[in-house]
Structure formats: structure tokens, C-alpha cells
A = this chain, B = another copy of it.
């Protein structure tokens, strides 16, 4: 770096021959005429103006508010995420606006507009709605898990691929010969899709025939699981699988109950590993619902806030994956490891 004086927004406005407000709008992703946008972008390029770094500094009216968009807080995973995000913001002197957007896309759009208009300093979003087209470049936004096409938005997630592999490796380690995979997924693409890739990778690596239920999330989960189960019954009533990797702890728990109702013993007949690491009653020392590949939720939350509040957005990774770990939750056979 030379000690050459950095360009200011005023320099950009002068070079582009537009008003200062127009430059600000372009930087903050607020629509201007295409002619003006191109002028400003060219001026920014010519002057090596550091958009992202200074864009943050532009906000003389910092609100110290960050909005968290999640489907709801009834779900314990989302609820704990909200709690950790709130704590990470508090440490930085910031406050959390909670937006539970389940089924109300307009709510998400409202909050995105608040960020565009600087009424909040930024947004952390864990969303499964179709709001991609409302996301503008330069918007201070960090997304958890979800992938938006044609948008470079910093994303934070668990290492779902490694988690998918790990689930199968653990089932094999605990004596399973034929693990299956049960998945109900969102229609929107996200990092959690890689659990499936990890499962398929492990199948290939360990010479297993892939065998899974993989459908879009719906209200007929139990009926579909029952159908899958029946398809895997031998004439003598025994099962053609002895291990289940469930896409989430919730799916794992549903399958556990179904197997129990059908008279199977867990983990003697079938071992189950879920994904998420949800604890009963939300207690840190509480039991898991099922043995699970656990997401490091506190660290993921801290990472979201760290990235959103980074002074220089140019060095922020577009994707940050944190490692997962296996934890015993009563639905696996473990000889060597003491139950948590």
C-alpha cells in the first residue's frame, strides 16, 4: 500500500458528474437510472474507491439495530439461534429486532427495506422464502444456510457435507451394515442440501448401495416414512436396514417413534443418527432427542454477527463453514463412549 490519499465519495461524485446522493444510492443498492449507475461504477473503478469499506462509514445515523429474520422461534433450533445472535450483538453494543417471517414474505421484504433505508444496520437471515429478488447488492446481509442464486451474499453454515459423511461413518463404526437416509427438504437451495452429497459420498467410499427417502417437506411425512418402512420389510417382518441417517433431529425423532410403534427396538434393531443437536427443553445439559450430528450453533451465531459487523467487507469470505460433531443421544449402540 502507498500512502496515497484514499478517494472519497465526493471524488466519485465529481468524477462521475452526478450528485453525492446518487453515489450513496448506488453504493447502498438503492435503484438509480442505469445511466447514472454506470457513471458511478466507472468512477468507482477509475478512482479505486473502496466501496464496501466506506459504505459502512457512510451511515452517520447508525441505528445499532440488527434484524434477525427466521421462520419462527417455536422451533428450538431457530429459537437458540436467536438467543445466541442476541448475545453476540449485545457484546457489540447492538440490539436485535426479531422478525418471525413464517409464511409472511411481506415481513421479510419489510425488514430488507429497513436495511436498504438504513433503519437497521444490517440483517441476518435464516429464511426459506422466495425473497431473492428483493436483495440488492451492497445490502448489509448475512445469510445462514440458504443460497441465493446470482447474489454474492456472505453465507454461514455448518459443514453439512462432512456431517453427512460422519453420520454414515458413525453408523458403520457402531456395527450397521445397511444404513438408509431419510430426508424432507426445502424447495430452496441451501448448504443443508450437502448432507445428501455427504451421504452419497460415504456410500461410494464404503461400497454401500444408496437407499433413501428424499422428498420435499410436506404434511405427509409420517405416511411417507411408513411407506418407506413397509417397502424395506422382509417377509418375516424383519427390516432390510439397520441404520438411519435422518436429515434433521426432528425427522429422526419421527422415524424413531414410528419404528417403536411398529415394535422395533432402538438401538438394538435400528440405530438412528439425526442432524442439528437439539436438546430437550433447550438446556445445555439436556438430553438430545436422538443421537445427532450437532451444529455448533453458538459459534455459527457469533460468526454471523462477526461477518455482519466486519469493518472491511472486502475480506469477508462468501462462505464460512464450521465443523460439526457427533454426539450420543440414546439411539445408537456405543460400546466405548460414555453417554453424554
Contact = CB atoms under 8 A, between A and B. Distances in A.
A175 to B, nearest CB: 26
Interface stretch (A2-10, A79-87, A166-174): A79-87
Contact of A76 (B65, B98, B281): B281
A228 interface: no
A188 interface: no
Chain copies in the assembled complex: 2
A74 B107 CA distance: 24
Interface string A276-301: 00101111100001000000000000
A264 interface: no
Contacts of A73: 73, 79-80, 82-83, 86, 282
A99 B80 CA distance: 13
A259 interface: no
A107 to B, nearest CB: 7
A97 interface: yes
Interface in A249-264: 249-250, 253
Interface in A61-80: 65, 68, 72-76, 79-80
A97 B90 CA distance: 12
A76 B79 CA distance: 8
- By Cβ-Cβ distance, the 10 closest A-B pairs, closest first, are A74-B282, A79-B79, A73-B83, A98-B98, A73-B79, A96-B98, A86-B100, A75-B282, A73-B82, A250-B281
28 contacts: A65-B97, A68-B98, A72-B282, A73-B73, A73-B79, A73-B80, A73-B82, A73-B83, A73-B86, A73-B282, A74-B76, A74-B83, A74-B283, A75-B281, A75-B282, A75-B283, A76-B76, A79-B82, A79-B282, A82-B82, A90-B107, A95-B99, A96-B97, A97-B98, A253-B281, A278-B281, A280-B280, A280-B289
Interface of A: 65, 68, 72-76, 79-80, 82-83, 86-87, 90, 95-100, 104, 107, 249-250, 253, 278, 280-284, 289
